Structure 1
Amino acid sequence: MRLIALLDTSVSSDNLGDEIIMDAVRYELLDAMPDAYFTTVATHDYLGRIGRKILKQCEFGILGGANSMSSQMLRGANWKISPLDLSPMQDKVVLMGVGWQDYHPNASRYARYVYERVLSKKYAHSFRDSYTLGKAQQLGRKTLNTACPTMWRLDAAHCATIPTTKADKAVAALTFYRPDPDNDRKLMKQICDSYGKVYFWSQQAEDWEYLQSLGHFDVELIHPNVRAYTDVLENEEVDFIGSRLHGGIRAMQKRRRALIVIVDNRAAEIGRDTDLPTVARDNHAKIAAWIQGSDPVRIKLPTEAIDTWRNQFA
Protein backbone atom coordinates (compact mmCIF):
# COMPACT_ATOMS: atom_id res chain seq x y z
CA MET A 1 0.00 0.00 0.00
CA ARG A 2 1.31 3.46 -0.94
CA LEU A 3 1.51 5.88 2.00
CA ILE A 4 1.09 9.48 0.78
CA ALA A 5 1.07 12.62 2.89
CA LEU A 6 -1.55 15.21 1.92
CA LEU A 7 -0.35 18.69 2.83
CA ASP A 8 -3.78 20.16 3.53
CA THR A 9 -4.15 23.90 2.93
CA SER A 10 -7.55 23.98 4.69
CA VAL A 11 -6.09 23.03 8.09
CA SER A 12 -5.60 26.06 10.37
CA SER A 13 -7.13 28.24 7.66
CA ASP A 14 -9.77 30.92 8.25
CA ASN A 15 -10.79 30.92 4.57
CA LEU A 16 -13.53 28.54 3.39
CA GLY A 17 -12.11 28.78 -0.11
CA ASP A 18 -9.35 26.44 1.06
CA GLU A 19 -12.00 23.81 1.81
CA ILE A 20 -13.31 24.13 -1.75
CA ILE A 21 -9.76 23.67 -3.05
CA MET A 22 -9.14 20.60 -0.89
CA ASP A 23 -12.47 19.02 -1.95
CA ALA A 24 -11.20 19.10 -5.53
CA VAL A 25 -7.68 18.00 -4.56
CA ARG A 26 -8.98 14.91 -2.76
CA TYR A 27 -11.35 14.07 -5.61
CA GLU A 28 -8.57 14.25 -8.19
CA LEU A 29 -6.06 12.32 -6.08
CA LEU A 30 -8.46 9.47 -5.41
CA ASP A 31 -8.87 9.20 -9.18
CA ALA A 32 -5.12 9.35 -9.82
CA MET A 33 -4.09 7.05 -6.96
CA PRO A 34 -7.09 4.96 -5.87
CA ASP A 35 -4.86 2.48 -4.03
CA ALA A 36 -3.07 5.09 -1.89
CA TYR A 37 -3.50 5.72 1.82
CA PHE A 38 -3.52 9.48 2.45
CA THR A 39 -2.50 10.98 5.79
CA THR A 40 -3.09 14.70 6.38
CA VAL A 41 -0.62 17.28 7.69
CA ALA A 42 -0.94 21.06 7.90
CA THR A 43 0.61 23.80 5.75
CA HIS A 44 -0.72 26.93 7.48
CA ASP A 45 1.04 25.77 10.65
CA TYR A 46 4.38 24.10 11.28
CA LEU A 47 4.47 20.31 11.11
CA GLY A 48 5.25 19.45 14.72
CA ARG A 49 6.55 16.07 15.92
CA ILE A 50 3.65 14.01 14.50
CA GLY A 51 3.67 15.77 11.15
CA ARG A 52 7.41 15.22 10.76
CA LYS A 53 6.97 11.53 11.59
CA ILE A 54 4.25 11.22 8.92
CA LEU A 55 6.45 12.81 6.24
CA LYS A 56 9.34 10.50 7.10
CA GLN A 57 7.13 7.43 6.72
CA CYS A 58 5.39 8.47 3.49
CA GLU A 59 6.60 7.85 -0.05
CA PHE A 60 6.02 11.53 -0.83
CA GLY A 61 3.66 14.38 0.02
CA ILE A 62 1.29 16.42 -2.17
CA LEU A 63 0.58 20.05 -1.36
CA GLY A 64 -2.93 21.01 -2.47
CA GLY A 65 -3.34 24.38 -4.12
CA ALA A 66 -3.79 27.81 -2.50
CA ASN A 67 -1.27 30.70 -2.38
CA SER A 68 1.42 28.43 -1.00
CA MET A 69 4.48 29.80 -2.80
CA SER A 70 6.06 33.05 -1.69
CA SER A 71 9.16 35.16 -2.10
CA GLN A 72 9.72 35.01 1.68
CA MET A 73 9.74 32.05 4.05
CA LEU A 74 10.84 33.69 7.31
CA ARG A 75 7.67 35.73 7.83
CA GLY A 76 4.32 36.23 6.12
CA ALA A 77 4.46 32.99 4.12
CA ASN A 78 1.30 30.87 3.87
CA TRP A 79 3.32 27.63 3.80
CA LYS A 80 4.92 27.33 7.22
CA ILE A 81 8.21 25.40 7.18
CA SER A 82 10.57 25.47 10.16
CA PRO A 83 14.23 24.38 9.99
CA LEU A 84 13.20 21.19 11.82
CA ASP A 85 10.77 20.37 8.99
CA LEU A 86 13.42 20.38 6.25
CA SER A 87 14.90 16.95 6.91
CA PRO A 88 11.62 14.93 6.90
CA MET A 89 10.43 16.89 3.86
CA GLN A 90 13.69 16.41 1.98
CA ASP A 91 12.93 15.94 -1.75
CA LYS A 92 9.42 14.73 -0.89
CA VAL A 93 6.86 17.45 -1.66
CA VAL A 94 4.95 17.53 -4.96
CA LEU A 95 2.95 20.69 -5.73
CA MET A 96 -0.60 20.49 -7.09
CA GLY A 97 -2.17 23.62 -8.56
CA VAL A 98 -0.21 25.95 -6.30
CA GLY A 99 -0.17 29.73 -6.69
CA TRP A 100 2.29 32.53 -5.89
CA GLN A 101 1.34 34.82 -3.00
CA ASP A 102 0.41 38.17 -4.56
CA TYR A 103 2.65 40.04 -7.01
CA HIS A 104 5.72 39.49 -4.88
CA PRO A 105 9.30 39.50 -6.16
CA ASN A 106 11.24 36.34 -6.98
CA ALA A 107 12.09 33.97 -4.16
CA SER A 108 14.64 35.23 -1.66
CA ARG A 109 17.89 33.33 -1.12
CA TYR A 110 16.46 31.55 1.93
CA ALA A 111 13.15 30.75 0.21
CA ARG A 112 15.06 29.25 -2.73
CA TYR A 113 17.09 27.17 -0.29
CA VAL A 114 13.93 25.85 1.37
CA TYR A 115 12.14 25.06 -1.89
CA GLU A 116 15.21 23.38 -3.35
CA ARG A 117 15.45 21.20 -0.24
CA VAL A 118 11.83 20.07 -0.01
CA LEU A 119 10.47 19.98 -3.58
CA SER A 120 10.66 16.61 -5.30
CA LYS A 121 13.17 16.22 -8.12
CA LYS A 122 11.44 13.08 -9.39
CA TYR A 123 7.94 14.41 -10.02
CA ALA A 124 6.62 17.37 -12.01
CA HIS A 125 5.04 20.19 -10.02
CA SER A 126 1.68 21.70 -10.94
CA PHE A 127 0.97 25.45 -10.82
CA ARG A 128 -2.30 27.29 -11.28
CA ASP A 129 -1.24 30.07 -13.69
CA SER A 130 1.52 31.30 -15.98
CA TYR A 131 2.65 33.98 -13.52
CA THR A 132 3.34 31.40 -10.81
CA LEU A 133 4.94 29.07 -13.34
CA GLY A 134 7.38 31.80 -14.30
CA LYS A 135 8.32 32.36 -10.67
CA ALA A 136 8.76 28.64 -10.02
CA GLN A 137 10.91 27.87 -13.06
CA GLN A 138 13.86 29.54 -11.30
CA LEU A 139 13.91 26.58 -8.88
CA GLY A 140 15.12 24.06 -11.43
CA ARG A 141 12.27 21.56 -11.13
CA LYS A 142 9.92 20.03 -13.68
CA THR A 143 6.94 22.40 -13.88
CA LEU A 144 3.48 22.41 -15.45
CA ASN A 145 0.71 25.01 -15.70
CA THR A 146 -2.45 23.02 -14.92
CA ALA A 147 -4.79 25.77 -13.64
CA CYS A 148 -6.39 25.27 -10.23
CA PRO A 149 -7.58 21.71 -9.39
CA THR A 150 -11.04 23.17 -8.70
CA MET A 151 -11.29 23.81 -12.46
CA TRP A 152 -10.09 20.45 -13.77
CA ARG A 153 -13.64 19.18 -14.30
CA LEU A 154 -14.88 22.38 -16.00
CA ASP A 155 -14.49 20.85 -19.44
CA ALA A 156 -16.52 21.77 -22.54
CA ALA A 157 -19.33 19.32 -21.77
CA HIS A 158 -19.72 20.66 -18.25
CA CYS A 159 -19.53 24.33 -19.27
CA ALA A 160 -22.22 23.74 -21.91
CA THR A 161 -24.65 23.11 -19.04
CA ILE A 162 -24.03 26.51 -17.42
CA PRO A 163 -26.86 28.96 -18.31
CA THR A 164 -26.28 32.15 -20.23
CA THR A 165 -29.52 33.88 -19.14
CA LYS A 166 -30.16 35.81 -15.95
CA ALA A 167 -31.48 33.93 -12.91
CA ASP A 168 -34.10 35.42 -10.57
CA LYS A 169 -31.76 35.19 -7.57
CA ALA A 170 -28.11 35.92 -6.95
CA VAL A 171 -25.31 35.14 -4.51
CA ALA A 172 -22.99 38.05 -3.76
CA ALA A 173 -19.55 37.86 -2.14
CA LEU A 174 -16.95 40.43 -1.09
CA THR A 175 -13.36 40.29 0.20
CA PHE A 176 -12.84 42.20 3.44
CA TYR A 177 -9.02 42.34 3.22
CA ARG A 178 -9.12 43.95 -0.25
CA PRO A 179 -11.56 46.78 0.52
CA ASP A 180 -12.74 49.28 -2.06
CA PRO A 181 -15.83 50.79 -0.40
CA ASP A 182 -16.95 52.91 -3.36
CA ASN A 183 -16.82 50.15 -5.96
CA ASP A 184 -18.04 47.44 -3.59
CA ARG A 185 -21.00 49.59 -2.56
CA LYS A 186 -21.87 50.17 -6.24
CA LEU A 187 -21.54 46.46 -6.92
CA MET A 188 -23.91 45.50 -4.11
CA LYS A 189 -26.44 48.12 -5.22
CA GLN A 190 -26.28 46.78 -8.80
CA ILE A 191 -26.89 43.24 -7.60
CA CYS A 192 -29.73 44.15 -5.23
CA ASP A 193 -31.43 46.31 -7.86
CA SER A 194 -31.18 43.55 -10.50
CA TYR A 195 -32.40 40.44 -8.65
CA GLY A 196 -35.57 39.57 -6.79
CA LYS A 197 -33.60 37.92 -3.99
CA VAL A 198 -29.95 38.24 -3.06
CA TYR A 199 -27.94 35.93 -0.83
CA PHE A 200 -24.59 36.83 0.69
CA TRP A 201 -21.90 34.26 1.39
CA SER A 202 -19.02 35.00 3.75
CA GLN A 203 -16.01 33.03 2.60
CA GLN A 204 -14.25 34.57 5.60
CA ALA A 205 -16.02 35.69 8.76
CA GLU A 206 -15.02 39.32 8.34
CA ASP A 207 -16.70 39.58 4.90
CA TRP A 208 -20.11 40.01 6.59
CA GLU A 209 -18.85 42.80 8.82
CA TYR A 210 -17.32 44.51 5.79
CA LEU A 211 -20.65 44.33 3.94
CA GLN A 212 -22.43 45.93 6.90
CA SER A 213 -19.90 48.76 6.95
CA LEU A 214 -20.94 49.68 3.40
CA GLY A 215 -24.57 50.38 4.34
CA HIS A 216 -27.84 48.48 4.41
CA PHE A 217 -28.53 45.91 1.69
CA ASP A 218 -31.51 43.58 1.57
CA VAL A 219 -29.63 40.27 1.54
CA GLU A 220 -30.01 36.90 3.21
CA LEU A 221 -26.87 35.51 4.81
CA ILE A 222 -26.06 31.94 3.84
CA HIS A 223 -24.79 29.96 6.82
CA PRO A 224 -21.00 30.42 6.74
CA ASN A 225 -19.92 26.94 5.71
CA VAL A 226 -19.28 25.20 2.41
CA ARG A 227 -22.15 22.72 2.78
CA ALA A 228 -24.77 25.45 3.25
CA TYR A 229 -23.41 27.37 0.26
CA THR A 230 -23.37 24.23 -1.86
CA ASP A 231 -26.97 23.46 -0.87
CA VAL A 232 -28.09 26.86 -2.20
CA LEU A 233 -26.21 26.31 -5.46
CA GLU A 234 -27.66 22.84 -5.94
CA ASN A 235 -31.25 23.64 -5.02
CA GLU A 236 -31.88 27.20 -6.23
CA GLU A 237 -31.40 28.88 -9.59
CA VAL A 238 -28.90 31.61 -8.76
CA ASP A 239 -26.14 33.64 -10.37
CA PHE A 240 -22.89 34.30 -8.50
CA ILE A 241 -21.30 37.76 -8.61
CA GLY A 242 -18.44 38.70 -6.33
CA SER A 243 -14.75 38.88 -5.58
CA ARG A 244 -14.36 35.43 -4.01
CA LEU A 245 -12.58 33.35 -6.63
CA HIS A 246 -13.39 29.92 -5.25
CA GLY A 247 -16.91 30.95 -4.34
CA GLY A 248 -17.36 31.66 -8.04
CA ILE A 249 -15.67 28.46 -9.16
CA ARG A 250 -17.87 26.46 -6.76
CA ALA A 251 -20.90 28.01 -8.46
CA MET A 252 -19.60 26.91 -11.85
CA GLN A 253 -18.94 23.41 -10.50
CA LYS A 254 -22.66 23.33 -9.67
CA ARG A 255 -23.62 24.60 -13.13
CA ARG A 256 -24.43 28.17 -12.12
CA ARG A 257 -23.44 31.37 -13.89
CA ALA A 258 -20.56 33.13 -12.18
CA LEU A 259 -18.77 36.44 -12.65
CA ILE A 260 -15.64 36.86 -10.52
CA VAL A 261 -14.62 40.41 -9.64
CA ILE A 262 -10.83 40.81 -9.74
CA VAL A 263 -9.20 42.02 -6.52
CA ASP A 264 -5.78 40.29 -6.65
CA ASN A 265 -3.45 38.21 -8.79
CA ARG A 266 -5.42 34.98 -8.43
CA ALA A 267 -8.47 35.78 -10.54
CA ALA A 268 -6.48 38.07 -12.83
CA GLU A 269 -3.86 35.47 -13.77
CA ILE A 270 -6.17 32.44 -13.92
CA GLY A 271 -8.67 34.43 -15.97
CA ARG A 272 -5.96 35.50 -18.39
CA ASP A 273 -4.84 31.89 -18.90
CA THR A 274 -8.19 30.10 -19.03
CA ASP A 275 -10.91 32.65 -19.93
CA LEU A 276 -12.54 32.16 -16.53
CA PRO A 277 -15.33 34.81 -16.41
CA THR A 278 -13.76 37.78 -14.62
CA VAL A 279 -14.22 41.53 -14.54
CA ALA A 280 -12.37 44.55 -13.16
CA ARG A 281 -14.09 45.77 -10.00
CA ASP A 282 -14.63 49.27 -11.40
CA ASN A 283 -16.14 48.10 -14.71
CA HIS A 284 -19.75 48.45 -13.63
CA ALA A 285 -21.00 48.68 -17.22
CA LYS A 286 -19.60 45.23 -17.99
CA ILE A 287 -21.08 43.87 -14.76
CA ALA A 288 -24.51 45.30 -15.67
CA ALA A 289 -24.33 43.78 -19.13
CA TRP A 290 -23.30 40.36 -17.75
CA ILE A 291 -26.22 40.37 -15.32
CA GLN A 292 -28.69 40.66 -18.20
CA GLY A 293 -27.10 37.79 -20.11
CA SER A 294 -23.67 36.36 -20.83
CA ASP A 295 -21.75 34.49 -23.48
CA PRO A 296 -21.40 30.71 -23.16
CA VAL A 297 -18.61 29.70 -20.78
CA ARG A 298 -15.61 28.26 -22.60
CA ILE A 299 -12.83 27.47 -20.16
CA LYS A 300 -9.46 26.83 -21.83
CA LEU A 301 -8.22 23.92 -19.75
CA PRO A 302 -4.57 22.82 -20.12
CA THR A 303 -5.71 19.21 -20.42
CA GLU A 304 -2.38 17.84 -21.66
CA ALA A 305 -0.55 19.30 -18.64
CA ILE A 306 -3.25 18.04 -16.26
CA ASP A 307 -3.03 14.52 -17.71
CA THR A 308 0.77 14.59 -17.52
CA TRP A 309 0.64 15.54 -13.84
CA ARG A 310 -2.00 12.90 -13.02
CA ASN A 311 -0.36 10.08 -14.95
CA GLN A 312 3.09 10.45 -13.39
CA PHE A 313 1.85 8.62 -10.28
CA ALA A 314 0.64 5.50 -12.11
Structure 2
Amino acid sequence: MKDIVTNIECMDKTVNFEQNIGIFLIKLKKKDNEIYKQESNDETKKILFNSLKEGLIQSRFINRDVVPYDPVVNKKNTHELVTVSNFQNITKILDKFNDENQHLINTNGMNESKFHLYMVTLSCKEHNYKIFGSFSNVLALQKKYILGQFISKGNFTDSTIEFKDTNNTFGFSKKIDLLVIDDVYILINQAESKFESVFKMNELFSMQAKDIIDNNKKIRQVFSNETRGKLAKKVGSGKRMASRLIKITSDEKRFNETIDNIAKIQEIVSDKENKFYSKVKDVKFENGQLSVKEGQKIQLLNAISDAPYHADISQMENVDGSRT
Protein backbone atom coordinates (compact mmCIF):
# COMPACT_ATOMS: atom_id res chain seq x y z
CA MET A 1 0.00 0.00 0.00
CA LYS A 2 2.75 2.43 0.95
CA ASP A 3 4.61 1.74 -2.32
CA ILE A 4 1.50 2.60 -4.33
CA VAL A 5 0.93 5.82 -2.40
CA THR A 6 4.59 6.81 -2.80
CA ASN A 7 4.42 6.16 -6.55
CA ILE A 8 1.38 8.42 -6.92
CA GLU A 9 2.71 11.02 -4.51
CA CYS A 10 5.90 11.46 -6.56
CA MET A 11 4.01 11.96 -9.80
CA ASP A 12 4.11 15.77 -9.55
CA LYS A 13 7.91 15.70 -9.64
CA THR A 14 7.68 14.86 -13.36
CA VAL A 15 7.81 17.75 -15.82
CA ASN A 16 4.35 18.59 -17.22
CA PHE A 17 2.80 15.84 -15.08
CA GLU A 18 -0.59 17.53 -15.52
CA GLN A 19 -0.71 16.17 -19.07
CA ASN A 20 -1.00 12.68 -17.57
CA ILE A 21 -4.14 13.50 -15.59
CA GLY A 22 -7.70 13.07 -16.85
CA ILE A 23 -10.91 14.17 -15.11
CA PHE A 24 -14.28 12.50 -15.69
CA LEU A 25 -17.78 12.71 -14.25
CA ILE A 26 -19.64 9.42 -13.82
CA LYS A 27 -23.37 8.96 -14.10
CA LEU A 28 -24.38 5.55 -12.76
CA LYS A 29 -27.19 3.85 -14.62
CA LYS A 30 -28.69 0.39 -14.19
CA LYS A 31 -27.37 -0.99 -17.48
CA ASP A 32 -24.42 1.14 -18.60
CA ASN A 33 -22.58 3.95 -16.86
CA GLU A 34 -22.21 7.26 -18.65
CA ILE A 35 -18.67 8.65 -18.65
CA TYR A 36 -18.23 12.37 -19.29
CA LYS A 37 -14.73 13.60 -20.04
CA GLN A 38 -14.09 17.11 -18.73
CA GLU A 39 -11.71 19.74 -20.00
CA SER A 40 -9.54 21.50 -17.45
CA ASN A 41 -6.39 23.57 -17.36
CA ASP A 42 -3.12 22.48 -15.78
CA GLU A 43 -3.71 24.51 -12.63
CA THR A 44 -7.05 22.82 -12.03
CA LYS A 45 -5.50 19.38 -12.51
CA LYS A 46 -2.73 20.27 -10.08
CA ILE A 47 -5.22 21.47 -7.45
CA LEU A 48 -7.34 18.32 -7.71
CA PHE A 49 -4.24 16.08 -7.68
CA ASN A 50 -2.97 17.76 -4.51
CA SER A 51 -6.37 17.33 -2.89
CA LEU A 52 -6.39 13.60 -3.66
CA LYS A 53 -2.81 13.30 -2.47
CA GLU A 54 -3.89 14.64 0.90
CA GLY A 55 -6.43 11.85 1.11
CA LEU A 56 -3.86 9.22 0.11
CA ILE A 57 -1.27 10.09 2.74
CA GLN A 58 -3.70 10.16 5.65
CA SER A 59 -2.86 7.42 8.14
CA ARG A 60 -6.43 6.10 8.10
CA PHE A 61 -5.95 5.36 4.40
CA ILE A 62 -2.35 4.29 4.11
CA ASN A 63 -2.21 2.19 7.30
CA ARG A 64 -5.45 0.25 6.94
CA ASP A 65 -5.30 -3.52 6.69
CA VAL A 66 -6.03 -4.92 3.23
CA VAL A 67 -8.35 -7.94 3.07
CA PRO A 68 -9.87 -9.86 0.13
CA TYR A 69 -13.20 -8.55 -1.13
CA ASP A 70 -16.13 -10.45 0.37
CA PRO A 71 -19.63 -9.50 -0.87
CA VAL A 72 -21.23 -11.20 2.14
CA VAL A 73 -19.16 -9.88 5.04
CA ASN A 74 -18.40 -6.17 5.36
CA LYS A 75 -15.28 -5.66 7.47
CA LYS A 76 -14.99 -2.21 9.04
CA ASN A 77 -11.81 -0.14 8.99
CA THR A 78 -10.18 -2.17 6.23
CA HIS A 79 -9.48 -1.87 2.54
CA GLU A 80 -11.01 -4.64 0.45
CA LEU A 81 -8.93 -5.84 -2.49
CA VAL A 82 -10.52 -7.10 -5.70
CA THR A 83 -8.58 -9.12 -8.27
CA VAL A 84 -10.02 -7.94 -11.57
CA SER A 85 -9.33 -11.19 -13.44
CA ASN A 86 -11.80 -12.97 -11.14
CA PHE A 87 -14.71 -10.97 -12.58
CA GLN A 88 -15.26 -10.72 -16.32
CA ASN A 89 -17.82 -7.96 -15.90
CA ILE A 90 -15.24 -5.70 -14.23
CA THR A 91 -12.83 -6.17 -17.12
CA LYS A 92 -15.50 -5.12 -19.61
CA ILE A 93 -16.40 -1.99 -17.65
CA LEU A 94 -12.75 -0.99 -17.24
CA ASP A 95 -12.33 -1.41 -21.01
CA LYS A 96 -15.16 1.07 -21.47
CA PHE A 97 -13.47 3.56 -19.12
CA ASN A 98 -10.31 3.20 -21.22
CA ASP A 99 -12.03 3.59 -24.60
CA GLU A 100 -12.14 7.23 -25.69
CA ASN A 101 -14.93 6.38 -28.12
CA GLN A 102 -17.13 5.56 -25.12
CA HIS A 103 -16.57 8.94 -23.47
CA LEU A 104 -19.27 11.58 -23.65
CA ILE A 105 -18.34 15.23 -23.67
CA ASN A 106 -21.29 17.57 -23.66
CA THR A 107 -22.83 18.19 -20.23
CA ASN A 108 -24.93 21.11 -21.43
CA GLY A 109 -28.29 21.23 -19.63
CA MET A 110 -27.43 18.43 -17.23
CA ASN A 111 -28.12 18.77 -13.54
CA GLU A 112 -25.07 18.11 -11.35
CA SER A 113 -27.12 16.03 -8.93
CA LYS A 114 -27.32 13.33 -11.63
CA PHE A 115 -23.59 12.68 -11.38
CA HIS A 116 -22.70 10.17 -8.69
CA LEU A 117 -18.91 10.06 -8.79
CA TYR A 118 -15.89 11.67 -10.34
CA MET A 119 -12.91 9.75 -11.70
CA VAL A 120 -9.34 10.96 -12.04
CA THR A 121 -6.93 8.96 -14.21
CA LEU A 122 -3.21 9.11 -13.46
CA SER A 123 -0.53 7.82 -15.82
CA CYS A 124 2.81 7.37 -14.11
CA LYS A 125 6.02 6.01 -15.54
CA GLU A 126 5.44 2.52 -14.15
CA HIS A 127 1.74 2.35 -13.34
CA ASN A 128 -1.69 3.63 -14.31
CA TYR A 129 -4.34 4.48 -11.75
CA LYS A 130 -8.01 5.38 -11.65
CA ILE A 131 -9.24 7.17 -8.54
CA PHE A 132 -12.97 7.36 -7.87
CA GLY A 133 -14.33 9.89 -5.41
CA SER A 134 -17.67 11.32 -4.36
CA PHE A 135 -19.11 14.79 -4.23
CA SER A 136 -18.94 15.81 -0.59
CA ASN A 137 -22.01 18.02 -0.82
CA VAL A 138 -24.00 17.86 -4.05
CA LEU A 139 -26.29 20.69 -2.98
CA ALA A 140 -23.28 22.94 -2.52
CA LEU A 141 -22.41 22.47 -6.18
CA GLN A 142 -25.44 24.53 -7.13
CA LYS A 143 -23.89 27.57 -5.50
CA LYS A 144 -20.18 27.09 -6.04
CA TYR A 145 -17.88 28.10 -8.86
CA ILE A 146 -17.05 24.64 -10.17
CA LEU A 147 -17.41 24.48 -13.93
CA GLY A 148 -15.95 27.80 -14.95
CA GLN A 149 -19.10 29.70 -14.03
CA PHE A 150 -21.60 30.28 -11.26
CA ILE A 151 -24.19 27.57 -11.77
CA SER A 152 -27.15 29.13 -10.03
CA LYS A 153 -29.52 27.10 -12.23
CA GLY A 154 -27.58 23.89 -11.66
CA ASN A 155 -26.57 23.34 -15.31
CA PHE A 156 -23.29 22.44 -16.96
CA THR A 157 -22.79 24.49 -20.08
CA ASP A 158 -19.16 24.15 -21.14
CA SER A 159 -18.02 20.68 -19.98
CA THR A 160 -15.11 22.35 -18.25
CA ILE A 161 -13.97 22.06 -14.66
CA GLU A 162 -11.93 24.92 -13.33
CA PHE A 163 -10.61 25.44 -9.81
CA LYS A 164 -9.04 28.76 -8.91
CA ASP A 165 -8.59 28.32 -5.18
CA THR A 166 -5.86 25.89 -4.13
CA ASN A 167 -7.59 25.33 -0.80
CA ASN A 168 -11.04 24.52 -2.14
CA THR A 169 -12.08 21.89 -4.65
CA PHE A 170 -15.73 22.84 -4.28
CA GLY A 171 -17.53 19.63 -3.39
CA PHE A 172 -14.98 17.15 -4.77
CA SER A 173 -14.33 15.00 -1.71
CA LYS A 174 -10.73 14.21 -0.80
CA LYS A 175 -11.79 10.75 0.34
CA ILE A 176 -10.75 8.11 -2.14
CA ASP A 177 -13.56 5.58 -2.55
CA LEU A 178 -11.96 3.29 -5.13
CA LEU A 179 -8.40 2.98 -6.39
CA VAL A 180 -7.83 0.95 -9.55
CA ILE A 181 -4.24 -0.20 -10.00
CA ASP A 182 -3.14 -1.05 -13.57
CA ASP A 183 -6.62 -2.50 -14.21
CA VAL A 184 -5.39 -5.54 -12.25
CA TYR A 185 -6.53 -4.71 -8.73
CA ILE A 186 -9.21 -2.51 -7.20
CA LEU A 187 -8.88 -1.18 -3.67
CA ILE A 188 -12.21 -0.47 -1.98
CA ASN A 189 -11.99 2.13 0.79
CA GLN A 190 -15.13 1.61 2.85
CA ALA A 191 -17.19 2.11 -0.30
CA GLU A 192 -18.46 -1.35 -1.18
CA SER A 193 -21.85 -0.15 -2.43
CA LYS A 194 -20.16 2.31 -4.82
CA PHE A 195 -17.84 -0.41 -6.11
CA GLU A 196 -20.79 -2.72 -6.72
CA SER A 197 -22.76 0.05 -8.46
CA VAL A 198 -19.90 1.09 -10.75
CA PHE A 199 -19.04 -2.46 -11.76
CA LYS A 200 -22.59 -3.89 -11.78
CA MET A 201 -21.78 -6.59 -9.23
CA ASN A 202 -25.39 -7.06 -8.14
CA GLU A 203 -26.39 -8.11 -11.64
CA LEU A 204 -23.48 -10.56 -11.75
CA PHE A 205 -24.35 -12.09 -8.38
CA SER A 206 -28.04 -12.43 -9.32
CA MET A 207 -27.18 -14.15 -12.60
CA GLN A 208 -24.77 -16.58 -10.92
CA ALA A 209 -27.21 -17.36 -8.10
CA LYS A 210 -30.05 -18.05 -10.53
CA ASP A 211 -27.80 -20.43 -12.44
CA ILE A 212 -27.02 -22.28 -9.18
CA ILE A 213 -30.74 -22.57 -8.36
CA ASP A 214 -31.52 -23.88 -11.84
CA ASN A 215 -28.64 -26.29 -12.30
CA ASN A 216 -27.00 -27.33 -9.02
CA LYS A 217 -28.01 -30.96 -8.39
CA LYS A 218 -27.95 -30.67 -4.60
CA ILE A 219 -30.08 -27.51 -4.69
CA ARG A 220 -32.59 -29.31 -6.91
CA GLN A 221 -32.52 -32.22 -4.47
CA VAL A 222 -33.20 -30.24 -1.29
CA PHE A 223 -35.71 -27.69 -2.66
CA SER A 224 -38.92 -28.31 -4.60
CA ASN A 225 -39.53 -26.65 -7.98
CA GLU A 226 -41.91 -24.20 -6.33
CA THR A 227 -39.40 -23.27 -3.63
CA ARG A 228 -36.61 -22.86 -6.19
CA GLY A 229 -38.84 -20.58 -8.23
CA LYS A 230 -39.42 -18.35 -5.21
CA LEU A 231 -35.72 -18.33 -4.37
CA ALA A 232 -34.88 -17.35 -7.94
CA LYS A 233 -37.13 -14.28 -7.64
CA LYS A 234 -35.57 -13.37 -4.32
CA VAL A 235 -31.95 -13.55 -5.51
CA GLY A 236 -32.94 -11.54 -8.57
CA SER A 237 -33.95 -8.60 -6.40
CA GLY A 238 -31.39 -8.71 -3.61
CA LYS A 239 -27.61 -8.87 -3.66
CA ARG A 240 -27.22 -10.24 -0.15
CA MET A 241 -29.13 -13.47 -0.72
CA ALA A 242 -27.51 -13.98 -4.12
CA SER A 243 -23.95 -13.51 -2.84
CA ARG A 244 -24.67 -15.72 0.18
CA LEU A 245 -25.89 -18.56 -2.01
CA ILE A 246 -22.77 -18.26 -4.17
CA LYS A 247 -20.53 -18.38 -1.10
CA ILE A 248 -22.38 -21.32 0.48
CA THR A 249 -22.11 -23.45 -2.65
CA SER A 250 -18.57 -22.38 -3.64
CA ASP A 251 -16.96 -25.09 -1.49
CA GLU A 252 -18.49 -27.99 -3.38
CA LYS A 253 -17.29 -30.75 -1.06
CA ARG A 254 -18.51 -29.01 2.09
CA PHE A 255 -21.84 -28.10 0.51
CA ASN A 256 -22.46 -31.62 -0.76
CA GLU A 257 -21.73 -33.04 2.70
CA THR A 258 -24.14 -30.53 4.22
CA ILE A 259 -27.00 -31.54 1.92
CA ASP A 260 -26.25 -35.24 2.36
CA ASN A 261 -26.75 -34.72 6.11
CA ILE A 262 -29.48 -32.07 5.94
CA ALA A 263 -31.89 -34.22 7.98
CA LYS A 264 -29.94 -33.11 11.06
CA ILE A 265 -31.59 -29.69 10.71
CA GLN A 266 -34.54 -31.23 12.54
CA GLU A 267 -32.42 -31.53 15.70
CA ILE A 268 -31.70 -27.80 15.65
CA VAL A 269 -35.30 -26.78 14.88
CA SER A 270 -36.57 -28.84 17.80
CA ASP A 271 -34.06 -27.40 20.30
CA LYS A 272 -34.80 -23.83 21.37
CA GLU A 273 -31.54 -23.74 23.35
CA ASN A 274 -29.46 -24.30 20.23
CA LYS A 275 -27.51 -21.17 19.23
CA PHE A 276 -28.68 -21.60 15.65
CA TYR A 277 -32.34 -22.14 16.48
CA SER A 278 -33.49 -18.57 15.77
CA LYS A 279 -31.92 -18.71 12.31
CA VAL A 280 -33.90 -21.77 11.18
CA LYS A 281 -36.86 -22.02 13.56
CA ASP A 282 -39.48 -21.91 10.77
CA VAL A 283 -37.79 -24.46 8.49
CA LYS A 284 -39.74 -27.62 7.71
CA PHE A 285 -38.05 -30.83 6.57
CA GLU A 286 -40.32 -33.28 4.78
CA ASN A 287 -39.59 -35.99 2.22
CA GLY A 288 -35.96 -34.93 2.04
CA GLN A 289 -36.74 -31.30 1.17
CA LEU A 290 -36.71 -27.97 3.02
CA SER A 291 -39.46 -25.39 3.01
CA VAL A 292 -40.53 -22.30 4.95
CA LYS A 293 -43.62 -20.16 5.15
CA GLU A 294 -43.85 -17.06 2.98
CA GLY A 295 -41.49 -14.24 3.99
CA GLN A 296 -38.89 -16.50 5.62
CA LYS A 297 -36.78 -17.51 2.61
CA ILE A 298 -33.59 -16.32 4.28
CA GLN A 299 -33.98 -19.25 6.68
CA LEU A 300 -33.61 -21.66 3.77
CA LEU A 301 -30.12 -20.34 3.12
CA ASN A 302 -29.37 -20.48 6.83
CA ALA A 303 -30.39 -24.13 6.85
CA ILE A 304 -27.92 -25.08 4.09
CA SER A 305 -25.12 -22.74 5.23
CA ASP A 306 -23.33 -25.19 7.53
CA ALA A 307 -22.79 -22.21 9.86
CA PRO A 308 -23.10 -23.98 13.26
CA TYR A 309 -19.80 -25.35 14.54
CA HIS A 310 -18.21 -26.99 17.55
CA ALA A 311 -14.87 -25.58 18.78
CA ASP A 312 -12.48 -28.43 19.54
CA ILE A 313 -10.45 -26.56 22.16
CA SER A 314 -13.10 -24.55 24.03
CA GLN A 315 -15.79 -27.17 23.37
CA MET A 316 -18.19 -24.30 22.68
CA GLU A 317 -21.06 -24.48 20.21
CA ASN A 318 -21.27 -21.38 18.03
CA VAL A 319 -22.26 -19.93 14.68
CA ASP A 320 -19.95 -18.79 11.87
CA GLY A 321 -21.17 -15.26 11.19
CA SER A 322 -19.46 -15.13 7.79
CA ARG A 323 -21.93 -17.73 6.48
CA THR A 324 -25.18 -16.24 7.85
TM range (shorter): under 0.3
Q: Which has the larger Rg?
A: 2
Tell me the TM-score normalised to structure 1 length: 0.23
Structure with more strand by fraction? 2
Tell me the TM-score normalised to structure 2 length: 0.22
